[in-house]
Amino acid sequence: MSTAAALDAADPLAHLRARFAGAGSDLVYFDGNSLGRPVAAAADRLSEFVQHQWGERLIRGWDERWMELPTDLGDDLARICLGAAPGQTAIGDSTTVWIYKLMRAAVDHAVRTDPARTEIVIDTDNFPTDRYVAEGIAAERGLTLRWIEVDTSAGVTADQLREAVSERTALVVLCHVAYRSAWLADAPELTRIAHDAGALVLWDLCHSAGSVPIALDEWDADLAVGCTYKYLNGGPGSPAYGYVSARLQGDLTQPIQGWMGHADPFLMGPGYAPAPGIRRFISGTPPILGMVAMQSMLEVVEEAGIGAIRAKSVALTSYAVELADATLPGVTLASPRDPAQRGGHVTLHHERMREVTARLWERDVIPDYRDPGGLRIGLSPLSTSFDEVERGMAAVAEALR
Active site residues: 127, 204, 229-230, 376
| Angle in degrees, 0-180, between the axes of helices 306-327 and 386-400, rounded to the nearest 10 | 30
Query: Which one of 4, 7, 16, 35 is in contact with its own copies (CB under 8 A)?
Result: 35
Nearer to its own copies, 91 or 306 (CB): 91
CA neighbor of 282 nearest in space, from 134, 59, 90, 58: 90
Which residues in the 378-397 window bind its own copies by CB under 8 A? none
DSSP state letter for 119: E
Which residues in the 214-243 window bind its own copies by CB under 8 A? 227, 229, 234-240
Nearer to its own copies, 70 or 339 (CB): 70
Q: How far is the CB of 9 from its own copies (least distance, A)?
A: 26
Pairing relation of β-strands 200-204 and 223-226?
A: parallel
CA 332 to the chain's CA centroid:
26
Distance of alpha carbon 35 from alpha carbon 1, whole angstroms = 32
Nearer to its own copies, 96 or 166 (CB): 96
Query: Which one of 4, 7, 16, 42 is in contact with its own copies (CB under 8 A)?
Result: 42
Q: How far is the CB of 85 from its own copies (least distance, A)?
A: 26
Distance of alpha carbon 141 from alpha carbon 36, whole angstroms = 36
Nearer to its own copies, 271 or 307 (CB): 271
Q: How far is the CB of 155 from its own copies (least distance, A)?
A: 16
Query: Which one of 113, 124, 144, 332 is in contact with its own copies (CB under 8 A)?
Result: 124
Interface with its own copies includes 303 (CB under 8 A)? no
Q: How far is the CB of 110 from its own copies (least distance, A)?
A: 15
Interface with its own copies includes 170 (CB under 8 A)? no
Interface with its own copies includes 113 (CB under 8 A)? no
Query: Which one of 2, 47, 144, 332 is in contact with its own copies (CB under 8 A)?
Result: 47
Non-local (6+) Cβ contacts of 190 within 8 A are 156, 158, 161, 172, 174, 201
Q: How far is the CB of 398 from its own copies (least distance, A)?
A: 21
Residue 244 bridge partners (DSSP): 223
Sketch the per residue contact string, 332 through 371, with its own copies: x for CB under 8 A, - otherwise. Answer: -----------------------------x----x-x-xx
Pairing relation of β-strands 169-175 and 144-148?
A: unpaired
Handedness of CA 394, 398, 399, 401 (dihedral sign): positive
Distance of alpha carbon 289 from alpha carbon 300, whole angstroms = 19
Which residues in the 253-272 window bind its own copies by CB under 8 A? 255-260, 262, 265, 267-272
Q: How far is the CB of 326 from its own copies (least distance, A)?
A: 27
Q: How far is the CB of 17 from its own copies (least distance, A)?
A: 14
Residue 276: count of CB within 10 angstroms of its CB: 11
Nearer to its own copies, 191 or 380 (CB): 380
Which residues in the 282-301 window bind its own copies by CB under 8 A? 283-290, 293
Distance of alpha carbon 380 from alpha carbon 320, whole angstroms = 13
Distance of alpha carbon 38 from alpha carbon 23, whole angstroms = 9
Sketch the per residue contact string, 128 through 167, with its own copies: x for CB under 8 A, - otherwise. Answer: xx-xxx-xx---x---------------------------
Instruction: Output the CA–CA distances (angstroms, integers) from residue 14 to 3, 11, 20, 29, 296, in the order listed.
Output: 15, 5, 12, 16, 18
Residue 195 bridge partners (DSSP): none
Amino acid at 217: D
Phi, psi for 64 (deg, rounded to 5) = -75, -35
* Size of the residue set binding its own copies (CB under 8 A): 82
Assess contact for 102 and 254: CB atoms under 8 A.
yes
The stretch near its own copies (CB under 8 A) out of 54-62, 79-87, 215-223, 322-330 is 54-62
Which residues in the 5-34 window bind its own copies by CB under 8 A? 21-22, 25, 27, 29, 31, 34
Handedness of CA 369, 132, 92, 171 (dihedral sign): positive
